[in-house]
């Protein structure tokens, strides 16, 4: 259907008439160009008779042009049929560690050795892309936690911002508790909606104002479920002054705390030692039972003002050309 957004614009319709009667008519003070000794021999032409001989078309064109301009000012819009939004999924917040240890190159991706963040970005990006119907958000944390993207259906934007994340962007330390606390602050206002957080880290809580366990308890009170992922290989070969040595690059990973966080919130802890395991973990999380949300609708709108505006401009152009041609005829008549 068609609706007018600004109906009050039609109050401008009588404006030309008001100006016609409120503004005084300019008086013509022009000396006679011809002196006639016998004025009575000439027929007096009444101004009313002259106006009666004038064509009504200019006035009609002007009225139609003004009506079209007022109609355009009223903002006509075409309102389409209601369309249901895809809201059958869940609210899902992804929290990614950007601390310095995420730069450790102990993962392989497409045959190339990459650091932990690159592997996370590639696999989590695909995971986000498949979350059709979910509202997805992104938290980046290091020494501090930041809400990079609020919950949104725009999965492509979330992926882009995840790919643009860089090591050390939020500091070199790891504030796991603050990341969970930020989630509680942003998502904890919907007690009737199940919400999920996926927290990925490769270390232990070394910064922040809130302890991870306390933050998990607050999350549990709000009904928020947290799935934690500990990322990093168990061993890798490094070159040192003493030759090639086998080391454990995940020695700082606090699996006990991550397990406790998941258990307190009804989630689960996963261990990702390589890209294949990380992919399987996201596939498993991908099969979580979706929550039920109230259906949301929107009605597409299309602005129509351009049509009456174009018609008004066309009529005004015709009127101006018509008056100009009449003026030229009088001058050469």
CA 293 vs. chain centroid, Å, equals: 21
Q: Quick one: pLDDT at residue 265?
A: 92
Name the β-bridge partners of 226.
197
Alpha-carbon span 165 to 122, nearest angstrom: 12
CA distance 308 to 314: 10
Q: Give, in degrees to the nearest 5, the angle at Cα 105 between 104 and 106.
A: 100
**pTM beyond 0.95:** no
> What pLDDT is attached to residue 89?
59
Strand partners, 239: 244
Q: Which pLDDT score is estimated for 200?
A: 92
Please give the pLDDT value at position 48: 47
Q: Answer whether 253's CB lies under 8 Å from 232's CB.
A: yes
Average pLDDT of adjacent 10-residue blocks, the chain of 333 residues: 84 84 64 51 47 68 88 87 64 90 85 88 88 85 91 91 89 90 75 78 87 92 90 73 67 89 92 86 73 62 87 87 77 65
Pairing type for strands 243-247 and 236-240 reads antiparallel
pLDDT of residue 42: 45
Q: What is the dihedral of CA 61, 63, 68, 74, to 10 degrees?
A: 170
Question: What secondary structure does DSSP assign to 35-91, as a single string?
Answer: --S-GGGSPPPPHHHHHHHS-SHHHHHHHHHHHHHHHHHT-EEEE---EE----S-E
d(CA 265, CA 294): 24
pLDDT at 206: 87
* 308, 71 Cβ separation under 8 angstroms: yes
Alpha-carbon gap, residue 8 to 16, rounded angstroms: 16
Check the CA dihedral 292-156-200-212 and report its sign.
negative
DSSP code at position 46? P
Residue 225: strand pairing partners: 196
Q: How many C-beta atoms surround the C-beta of residue 273 within 10 A?
A: 16
Task: Place domain 91-285 in its CATH homologous superfamily.
Answer: von Willebrand factor, type A domain (3.40.50.410)
Over the chain, what is the mean pLDDT? 80
* DSSP code, position 119: H
Q: How many CB atoms lie within 10 A of CB 254?
A: 18
Chain segment 100-117, per-residue pLDDT in tens: 888 888 888 888 888 888
Number of H helices, E strands in the chain: 10, 15
Give the H/E segment covering residue 260.
Answer: helix 255-264
For 294-306, what is each residue's pLDDT tens digit?
556 667 788 888 8
């Amino acid at each position: 259907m068609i609706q007018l957004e600004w109906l009050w614009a039609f109050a401008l319709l009588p404006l030309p008439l008001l100006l016609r009667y409120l503004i005084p008519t300019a008086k013509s003070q022009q000396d006679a160009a011809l002196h006639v000794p016998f004025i009575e021999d000439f027929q007096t032409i009444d101004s009313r008779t002259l106006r009666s001989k004038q064509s009504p078309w200019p006035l009609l064109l002007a009225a139609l042009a003004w009506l079209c301009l007022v109609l355009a000012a009223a903002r006509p819009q075409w309102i389409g049929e209601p369309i249901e939004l895809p809201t059958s999924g869940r609210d899902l917040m992804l929290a990614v560690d950007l601390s310095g240890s995420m730069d450790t190159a102990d993962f392989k991706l497409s045959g190339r050795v990459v650091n932990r963040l690159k592997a996370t970005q590639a696999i989590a990006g695909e995971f986000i892309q498949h979350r059709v119907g979910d509202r997805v958000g992104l938290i980046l944390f290091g020494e501090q936690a930041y809400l990079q993207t609020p919950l949104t259906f725009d999965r492509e934007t979330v992926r882009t911002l995840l790919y643009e994340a860089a090591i050390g962007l939020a500091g070199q330390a790891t504030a796991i508790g603050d990341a969970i606390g930020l989630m509680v602050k942003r998502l904890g206002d919907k007690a009737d909606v199940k919400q999920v957080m996926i927290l990925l880290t490769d270390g232990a809580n070394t910064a922040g104002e809130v302890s991870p366990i306390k933050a998990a308890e607050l999350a549990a009170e709000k009904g928020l479920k947290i799935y934690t992922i500990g990322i990093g290989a168990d061993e890798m070969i490094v070159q040192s002054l003493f030759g090639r040595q086998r080391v454990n690059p995940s020695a700082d990973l606090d699996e006990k705390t991550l397990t406790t966080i998941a258990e307190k919130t009804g989630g689960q802890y996963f261990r990702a030692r390589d890209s294949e395991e990380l992919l399987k973990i996201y596939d498993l999380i991908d099969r979580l039972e979706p929550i039920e949300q109230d259906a949301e609708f929107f009605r597409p709108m299309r602005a129509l003002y351009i049509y009456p505006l174009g018609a008004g401009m066309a009529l005004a152009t015709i009127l101006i050309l018509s008056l100009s041609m009449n003026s030229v005829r009088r001058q050469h008549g």
